Amino acid sequence: MDFSLLSKYGIPFAPFKIAKSLPDALSASKEIGFPVVMKAISPQALHKSDIGGVILGIGDAKEAEGAYKTLEQRFSGMKLEGVLVQKMLGRGKNTVELIVGGKRDAQFGQLIMLGMGGVFVEVYRDVAFRVCPIGNDDAIEMIHELKSFPILMGARGRKPANISSLASALVRVSRLLEKENPSEFDINPLLVDEHGCVAVDVRLL
Amino acid sequence: MVAKPIPKKVKNLDAVFNPDSIAVIGASREPNKIGHVIVKNFIDGGFAGRIYPINPRAEDILGLRAYKSVLDIKEKVDSAVIAVPAAAVAPVLEECGKKGIRGVVLITGGFSEVGNSEAEKKLAEIANRYDIALIGPNCMGVITPGSRVDSVFLPIYKLGRPRVGNISFISQSGAVGGCIVDLAARAGIGMSKFVSYGNAAAIDECDLLEYLYHDPDTKIIVAYLEGVKKGKRFLEVAKRITRKKPIVVLKAGRSAAGAEAARSHTGSLAGASEAYSAAFKQANVIEAQTLEQLFDFAKIFDQVLPSGRRIGIITNGGGMGVLATDALADEGLALSQLSDETQKLLRASLPPYANVRNPLDIIGDADSHRYEIAINAMMKDESVDVIMLIILFQTAGIDSSVVNIAIRASDLRKKPIISVCSGGEYTEMHKRILESYGVPTYVSPTSAMRSISRFIKYAEHYSKYNTAHSVLQAEKERQ
């Protein structure tokens, strides 16, 4: 699973468990503590939310059972390898959704990307790229380069995001990219607020 | 950090740019042949060294004795230009090696650009065996205005040659390179070296950058690239060079990227152009988006580096001052707050209706003398890091003497002087004079401000690195 890769490189992520059956999913949910999120694990579910592969805000055991069954139903025609049960992180008023990614370039090797997240990333294209490896200074520069930088700095009465933990996460992702050399890589979203940052979903190709 | 020694073939580029003698292999008696134009350009351009035309079937070409092969020449030959058909290139290159020729410009095409990579590999092998600095194949040649070396096969009356200057320009494309050289020559911009390097079989863009980094006649490096051979090496070399000399790059082929369907978000957002732009940023390379910007950005580096980002604007037209202020804000630069002393001095020397704040409007009836007062005041004022001189030549009061005042101020090399002259033929004439004396001159406040902001950003990087470096150096010496 791609999350184990994050822990290997010290990139913080939301706690999760993988369930292969309904009883599994129920005990995982209780262990993690409600509210949770369930995500279908399937090779067909690349953009999971587009095909209803993600169910948010599961508040108790009864809802967990319903959610699991719904996923089974939605993926009845496809390969469902399991369900990922994850702690649902509250998006407070200071939370900003970012995307951090990587791509192998034929000329320069691994590129690292930082961008504003959300479903419209491709529309806004508020992104910054660097060639790996990057250091802390490069990471800070990338953060500065975003048009949305003022949002991270607490525009409109928000608390400023924890820039140093974000920079440190970027440097760690750069290390991951250099070592694992994936063709493409996404952490989407990476949530950041005044306390720190945490990866919610990750994909490695 | 210990610098790696420069490879011999890179050092041998000296023979390409500054030879004492040159052989033109494939020299021809027919005026329309490339081999004829090259010999003629060397003669007409005033090359002071020996010229040896090589042609197995001619006794003499353009009044010079012709030889069958370079091996028939008794004297030492530094450099050669080859313009023979592709199939004949390898044997003559081998002969160049045997003769001890250190630099070769290979004009001939028909190699990797048409899929003939094997033949090109063989050329590289020969060049590397003899440590020949081989430019090309499939290139347009080299111009060194200082030593009158000119192997570009376009007639001088069609393609203007630039004056001697300190910008060196490397171009992957011969056609684009030629256009830019022509434009630079007309604009009055000086060049140290121009090289169209074509397929880069043995000498690639990084080798050229490395050479220009060590070249005392090159202060500014300009590159037109379609791609680089080795990305990581380019990044390393460029990063090292920009600590000492600015590099301005135009990277063509940006749109082709991203055509391939990508599967992740990052994949869809990252094309090849993002990779290049990222690498340029990391190496502190200044990226131009258009041909115009390429030399707009480069020529400003003729001036002393600014010590800050506060701009003082002098204008004889209020509207231009407003446009300049808008452009300044767009680029995130600051307007100097002229000191009380400066304002007092200006109030005493300028007419009462002049606005003695910044932008300093010396009014439409200004003459050269008023420009002189304004420039002197801004030169003294600590709050001014860069002086922008807007001169509207259309007014009755302005004559050509204002050009001398601007040049004299620029020659003091105390603060950067950048001028803006917008207008027709009369203005253009003065613009060229300013340009040829090293005062970067722009057609609009916008293009000037855009260049100034690159200039300042580079200066900030330069001083940050070099200050830190000298502190470390001093610390080492103390120990």
The residues of B whose Cβ lies within 8 A of any Cβ of A are 227-228, 230-232, 235, 262-270, 272, 274-279, 281-282
A12-87 has which CATH code? 3.30.1490.20
Give the helix, strand, coil percentages of chain A, each rounded to 5. 35, 30, 35
Residue that is last in its domain, among B282, B301, B320: B301
Contacts of B251 in chain A (CB under 8 A): none
Distances (CA, A) of B129 to A129, B15, B25, B117, B368: 40, 17, 20, 18, 61
- CB contact at 8 A, A186 and A113: no
Give the helix, strand, coil percentages of chain B, each rounded to 5. 45, 15, 40
ipTM above 0.85, yes or no: no
pLDDT digits (tens, 9 = 90+) for B3-57: 568 899 999 999 999 999 999 999 999 999 999 999 999 999 999 999 999 999 9
Residue B257: the pLDDT is: 46
Q: Which domain holds residue B283?
A: 8-253+272-301
Please, which residues have CB within 8 angstroms of residue B1's CB and are 6 or more apart in sequence? Answer: none
Longest dimension (CA), chain A: 52
Distance in angstroms (rounded) separating the CA atoms of residues B392 and B316: 6
How many domains does chain B fold into? 2
| B289 and B361 belong to one structural domain | no
Whether B259 has a pLDDT exceeding 50, the answer reads no
User: Which tokens go with A66?
Assistant: 């319903």
- Kindly state whether residue B473 falls inside one of the protein's structural domains: no
- CB contact at 8 A, A145 and A129: no
Contacts of A185 in chain B (CB under 8 A): 264, 266
Whether A48 has a pLDDT exceeding 70, the answer reads no
- Kindly state whether residue B479 falls inside one of the protein's structural domains: no
| B235 and B362 belong to one structural domain | no
Distances (CA, A) of A85 to A52, B75, B90: 15, 83, 67
Residue B197: the pLDDT is: 95
Distance in angstroms (rounded) separating the CA atoms of residues B96 and B79: 9
Contacts of B275 in chain A (CB under 8 A): 105, 107-108, 111, 129, 131
User: What does the mean pLDDT of chain B come to?
Assistant: 92
Distance from CA of B107 to the nearest CA of A (A): 27
pLDDT digits (tens, 9 = 90+) for B133-190: 999 999 999 999 999 999 988 888 888 889 999 999 999 988 889 999 999 999 999 9
Contacts of A107 in chain B (CB under 8 A): 227-228, 230-231, 272, 275-276
Whether B263 has a pLDDT exceeding 60, the answer reads no
| B55 and B168 belong to one structural domain | yes
Q: Which residue of B has its CA nearest to A137?
A: B282
Residue A45: the pLDDT is: 60
Whose CA is closest to B126, among B95, B165, B151, B84? B95
Amino acid present at A124: Y
Yes or no, beta carbons of B264 and A203 under 8 Å apart: yes
Distance in angstroms (rounded) separating the CA atoms of residues B264 and B269: 9
Residue B265: the pLDDT is: 62
- Kindly state whether residue B67 falls inside one of the protein's structural domains: yes
- CB contact at 8 A, B307 and B196: no
In chain A, list all ranges with CATH 3.30.470.20.
96-204
Distance from CA of B262 to the nearest CA of A (A): 9
- CB contact at 8 A, A11 and A172: yes
**B100 CB-side CA count, 13 A:** 7
Q: Which pLDDT band, with edges at 50, 70 and 90, does B65 fall under?
A: very high
- CB contact at 8 A, B313 and B288: no
Phi, psi of B453 (to 5 degrees): -65, -35
| B158 and B282 belong to one structural domain | yes
Q: Which residue of B has its CA nearest to A130?
A: B278
Whose CA is closest to B162, among B140, B178, B175, B174? B178
Average pLDDT over residues B63-74: 96
Yes or no, beta carbons of B263 and A184 under 8 Å apart: yes
| B399 and B426 belong to one structural domain | yes
When CB atoms are compared, the residue of A122, A129, A184 closest to B277 is A129
Q: Which residue of A has its CA nearest to B266?
A: A101
CA torsion angle A9 A11 A15 A18 (round to 10): -50
pLDDT digits (tens, 9 = 90+) for B379-417: 999 999 999 999 999 999 999 999 999 999 999 999 999
Distance in angstroms (rounded) separating the CA atoms of residues B37 and B53: 12
Q: Which residue of A has its CA nearest to B270?
A: A103
A96-204 has which CATH code? 3.30.470.20
Residue A9: the pLDDT is: 94
pLDDT digits (tens, 9 = 90+) for B237-248: 999 999 999 999
| B67 and B170 belong to one structural domain | yes
Contacts of A138 in chain B (CB under 8 A): 282
- CB contact at 8 A, B112 and B135: no
- CB contact at 8 A, B321 and B396: no
Interface test with B, best of A120, A129, A134, A187 (most B CBs within 10 A): A129
Percent of chain B with pLDDT over 70: 95
- CB contact at 8 A, B312 and B324: no
Yes or no, beta carbons of A129 and B276 under 8 Å apart: no
Amino acid present at B86: A
Q: Starting from the edge strand earliest in sequence, which strands make up the sheet with B191-196, in order?
A: B149-150, B141-144, B191-196, B164-171, B220-225, B247-251, B286-288
DSSP calls for B217-240: T-SEEEEEES--S-HHHHHHHHHH
Contacts of B281 in chain A (CB under 8 A): 130, 141
| B401 and B452 belong to one structural domain | yes
Yes or no, beta carbons of A105 and B275 under 8 Å apart: yes
Distance from CA of A101 to the nearest CA of B (A): 5
DSSP calls for B48-59: -SEEEEE-TT-S
Contacts of B270 in chain A (CB under 8 A): 101, 103, 105, 111, 113, 129
Distance from CA of A131 to the nearest CA of B (A): 6
Interface test with A, best of B254, B260, B264 (most A CBs within 10 A): B264
- Kindly state whether residue B471 falls inside one of the protein's structural domains: no
- ∠ Cα A64 A68 A73 (to 5°): 145
| B172 and B239 belong to one structural domain | yes
Distance in angstroms (rounded) separating the CA atoms of residues A89 and A36: 8
Whether A1 has a pLDDT exceeding 70, the answer reads no
CATH of the domain at B105: 3.40.50.720
| B67 and B209 belong to one structural domain | yes
> Which helix (H) or strand (E) covers residue B428, if one does?
helix B425-436
Average pLDDT over residues A150-169: 92
Q: Which pLDDT band, with edges at 50, 70 and 90, does B258 fall under?
A: very low
Yes or no, beta carbons of B279 and A131 under 8 Å apart: yes
Distance in angstroms (rounded) separating the CA atoms of residues B203 and B128: 10
Q: Which residue of B has its CA nearest to A124?
A: B269
Yes or no, beta carbons of B268 and A129 under 8 Å apart: no
Yes or no, beta carbons of A107 and B272 under 8 Å apart: yes
Residue B71 φ/ψ region, left for φ over 0, alpha for ψ in the -120 to 50 degree band, beta for the rest: alpha
| B56 and B200 belong to one structural domain | yes
Yes or no, beta carbons of A185 and B264 under 8 Å apart: yes
Residue B260: the pLDDT is: 45
Average pLDDT over residues B340-354: 94
B134 burial via Cβ count (<10 Å: 0-12, 13-18, 19+): buried
**B313 CB-side CA count, 13 A:** 29
Please, which residues have CB within 8 angstroms of residue B70's CB and are 6 or more apart in sequence? Answer: B23, B25, B52, B54, B77, B80, B92, B95, B96, B99, B101
Distances (CA, A) of B89 to B25, B26, B82, B172: 10, 10, 8, 21
Distance from CA of A145 to the nearest CA of B (A): 11
When CB atoms are compared, the residue of A108, A141, A203 closest to B275 is A108
Q: Which pLDDT band, with edges at 50, 70 and 90, does A92 fall under?
A: confident
Residue A203: the pLDDT is: 86
| B163 and B60 belong to one structural domain | yes
Contacts of A115 in chain B (CB under 8 A): 265, 269
Between residues B347 and B464, which one has the greater pLDDT? B347
Yes or no, beta carbons of B266 and A122 under 8 Å apart: no
Distance in angstroms (rounded) separating the CA atoms of residues B427 and B122: 53
In chain A, list all ranges with CATH 3.30.1490.20.
12-87
- CB contact at 8 A, A110 and A132: yes
CATH of the domain at B447: 3.40.50.261
| B154 and B202 belong to one structural domain | yes
Average pLDDT over residues B337-353: 95
Phi, psi of B171 (to 5 degrees): -135, 130
